[in-house]
Structure 1
Amino acid sequence: MSQSLSRRRLLHALGLSGVGLLFTPGLLRGVQAATPPSRRTLVTVFLRGGVDGLSLVPPVEDAAYHRARPSLALKSSGDGAALSLSSPFGLHPRLEPLLPLWKEGQLAVLHGVGLPTPVRSHFDAQDFVESGTPGRKSTPDGWLNRALGSEAQAHAAPLRAVALQSTLPRALFGDAGALAMGRLEEFRLRVGNRGAQATRGFEALYAGAVDDALRTTGQGAFEALSHLDEEHLARLPPTSGVEYPRAPLGQRLADIARLIKGDVGLEVAATEMGGWDTHAAQGAATGTFANRCAELSGALSAFARDLGPRLEHVTVVVLTEFGRTVRENGSRGTDHGVGSAMLVLGGGVRGGRAYGRFEPLTADRLQDGRDVPAWTDVRAPLSEVLRACRPGVDLTRVFPGYSPGTPLGLFT
């Protein structure tokens, strides 16, 4: 760590006073030069708990769907009906804030997305999705980190990869440096799989940086963060008229938008939202699941409106570890399944349409007679997203052993 960056300056600059992260114009020039203009910023939102894709994007025209869910199926018309999308699908009514993005061709949906081999354990399924190597538990790094590390990093921006959540997600584990922060005001540094995470604030972080690799690789991030410009923060509020939900996802996406608008060289941002494990009292148009949908759509809609024209240079992927059973259970909920739905929105997306294979939900077409199959391997849309956001990325390194089939055509 350079002599110019004293411990006192570090603690002051890194926001113990509660300010967010913004950078001086001198630093911004270096950061901007490090980010190729052809790239888009990739934002991932992981919905933890296993989202019921059949409620998120319900196949309202499928008679078998209605038979399997006497209390949970969403109607195609009337009070509490699903919003009309491409046949046979609708959109959960509490996702209505996303409907303008669909109509403007900036939002696409996929159904029957999941791991190629059924995994109904939350822990294992999340691990396989985020490592990008289904069935292999020994993989030390994550698919997002490998995507970053597949290119030379000599001129990479210090804040090229950021996780807006309390811990670094599995997808960002690896040798390419990444920052994890609950909020911009309170973040922790982790560099590769040898990183250190502070328990509270930056004093613990500073004291814990005993590994030479952390000191060396993390120096760029420390140097960048020492140039925080508190006076700039007030000039980057949300766009006029945009109000983010106060729940965690809304606040995290607000921070990601601030980093994007601050031109800090952000290439990848990851965040998450829990509460999707709906075994009981799931609800249909109202209830637990509906409330989750309202929070999700409110946050994503605010993020898109906040970015405005900048959304053309950002792609957002909303994914989960698995779906739910087709048939509702005795507690008016759903149990762990296989295939689920995915949302992709933003720059270059060929939106306003549904992608992927989907068949009527009769028992003979279901996985093990009970689940939506993973007709589309989760790595297929993620591969197309990476090609669109990071032209030239080495997908054989990001998803080893995986050979994409016929392209889905998600991007222009």
Structure 2
Amino acid sequence: MYTRRAFLKSSGLGLLGIGLMGGVPTFVAEAVAREKNNPLYSKRRVIVCIFQRGAMDGLMAVSPFEDVYFREARPTLFMDVVQKASENPLIDLDGRFGLHPSMKAFERVFRDKRLAIVHGIGSPNTTRSHFDAQDYMESGTPFQKNTSSGWLNRAVGLLGHDNIRTPFSAVSVTPALPRSLYGEEEALAISDLKTFKIQGNTALVNQNAKSFEDLYDKATNDLLRDTGKESFEAMKLLQSNLAKHYKPANNAVYPNSGLGNSLKQIAQLIKMDVGLEVAFTESNGWDTHFNQGKETGIFARNVGDLSNAIMAFWNDIEAYQDDVLVMTMTEFGRTVHQNGTNGTDHGRASCNFILGNHVDGGKVHGIVDALAKENLEDGRDLPVTTDFRTVFSEVADKHLRIKNKNELFPDWNGEGMGVLR
């Protein structure tokens, strides 16, 4: 069947650069009321994925503070739960692991057992190339470079309701579509709703949406024409009356950062009930080779922004929390030993955070053995003891109710680890 995606590809055009910097206006309530009998615009389960690009130091985010080998490996970067002069201590999570003090925003949901941490997570592929590792993780095929689709795009295709999917089922709040959402299923890259526009590489690139809509009108295939009109109606819905500023619920205050603004936009899409099910955004700047810092510095700023942005989002969507799950990911971790420039180099395993009302929270899942040299991968790195597909597959299964894990993650037959209840 000739799909709209095929039409877009053959015409050399794509939908890019949509975004939500402003606010959701009062028209939303009217739109929802108008569409309340339309199954296209209904409340659904949503997964929000945040890619921390650059490789987060999981051992600094969630530190095994009782490990004497770790203390020795980081003479100027090691942090403790004991208060020292002019230093903020780690937040003791369980007597073994401590949360970085800049991530204090996470403490409440961890104690409430709604935040789970998986340590020792990573890819079975040992590459230390940022580009390759990100590509493998986003495709979900860590030993195949030629995979044409991303795991989140495949997840959209396995949701099981093609007849009621909306143009906003899968949205990435990024300047361009990420590798995770490449594939045959519809997905949009959004950066600013106010500049919702069409870009491409043909002479039509400078024409407005109406001109492109005319192409759909001329299509002879009924499905192509109807789905095209549906997308443009959705565009009009999102563009209408965007002058008013969005006011987050519960007085949630988002950081004035790229991640904060992206999550605020995702919260707006969730509340608009436009059929969002898979959302993606990213956080940059995690490649901390130099002057990583401890309770202050680049790493502290990054983890503070991450946790504060996620918690602002979580508070903002309080009425939707039962249906929303947030999961972070990063391509690999950092070396156990600090380097000569007070930073850390490319390593292997890291940790990730999973927030939701149905997670097995208040725990640090996974296996992290004593960081003695003989226990380290290549004598230098935290070993990967949890394949990222173990967690991603379980999230897809238990939260999105996708059962076909072999299609979602080809060549992998592992089981979940109980991160979700």
Q: Is the 8 A contact 1:131 1:139 kept in 2?
A: yes
Do structure 1's residue 25 and structure 2's residue 35 form an aligned pair? no
In structure 2, which of residues 362, 375, 393 is the aligned counterpart of residue 352 of structure 1? 362
Do structure 1's residue 160 and structure 2's residue 169 form an aligned pair? yes
Q: Which residues of structure 2 form unaligned runs of 5+?
A: 5-17
Tell me what 1:114 maps to. 122
Tell me what 2:143 maps to. 135
Quote the RMSD (CA, aligned, Å). Answer: 3.0
- CA–CA distance in 1 between the matches of 2:237 and 2:125? 47
Amino acid at match of 1:174: G
- CA–CA distance in 2 between the matches of 1:197 and 1:96? 46
In structure 1, which of residues 251, 254, 261 is the aligned counterpart of residue 261 of structure 2? 251
Do structure 1's residue 72 and structure 2's residue 69 form an aligned pair? no
Tell me what 1:59 maps to. 64
Q: Is the 8 A contact 1:142 1:174 kept in 2?
A: yes
Amino acid at match of 2:339: N
Shift of 1:225: 1.7
- CA–CA distance in 1 between the matches of 2:20 and 2:176? 19
After superposition, residues 366-385 of structure 1 pair within 5 angstroms as 366-385=376-395
| Deviation larger for 88-97 or 210-219 | 210-219
- Are the structure 2 counterparts of residues 100 and 28 from structure 1 closer, same or farther at C-alpha, using a change threshold of 3 Å? farther
Q: Is the 8 A contact 2:21 2:261 kept in 1?
A: no
Shift of 1:230: 3.9
- CA–CA distance in 2 between the matches of 1:265 and 1:379? 26
- CA–CA distance in 2 between the matches of 1:152 and 1:276? 37
Q: TM-score, normalised by structure 2?
A: 0.85
Identity of aligned residues (%): 38
Shift of 1:218: 4.8
Shift of 1:187: 4.3
Amino acid at match of 1:296: L
SS in 1 for 2:64: coil
SS in 2 for 1:256: helix
- CA–CA distance in 1 between the matches of 2:389 and 2:41? 25
In structure 1, which of residues 143, 148, 156 is the aligned counterpart of residue 156 of structure 2? 148
In structure 2, which of residues 183, 190, 207 is the aligned counterpart of residue 181 of structure 1? 190
- Are the structure 2 counterparts of residues 288 and 64 from structure 1 closer, same or farther at C-alpha, using a change threshold of 3 Å? same
Amino acid at match of 1:372: L
| Deviation larger for 100-109 or 17-26 | 17-26
Tell me what 1:43 maps to. 48
Shift of 1:183: 2.8
In structure 2, which of residues 90, 103, 106 is the aligned counterpart of residue 95 of structure 1? 103
Shift of 1:186: 3.3
Once the two structures are superposed, what CA deviation does each residue of 1:254-306 show, in whole Å capped at 9, x if it has no partner? Answer: 11111111111110100001000000100111111001111111101101111
Amino acid at match of 2:377: Q
Amino acid at match of 1:25: V
In structure 2, which of residues 311, 321, 344 is the aligned counterpart of residue 301 of structure 1? 311
Amino acid at match of 2:350: S
In structure 2, which of residues 328, 332, 335 is the aligned counterpart of residue 322 of structure 1? 332
Amino acid at match of 2:170: A
Once the two structures are superposed, what CA deviation does each residue of 1:102-142 show, in whole Å capped at 9, x if it has no partner? Answer: 11111010111000121100000000000000010100010
Shift of 1:238: 0.2
Shift of 1:341: 0.6
Once the two structures are superposed, what CA deviation does each residue of 1:77-113 show, in whole Å capped at 9, x if it has no partner? Answer: 1132111112421100000011111111110101110
Q: Is the 8 A contact 2:334 2:346 kept in 1?
A: yes
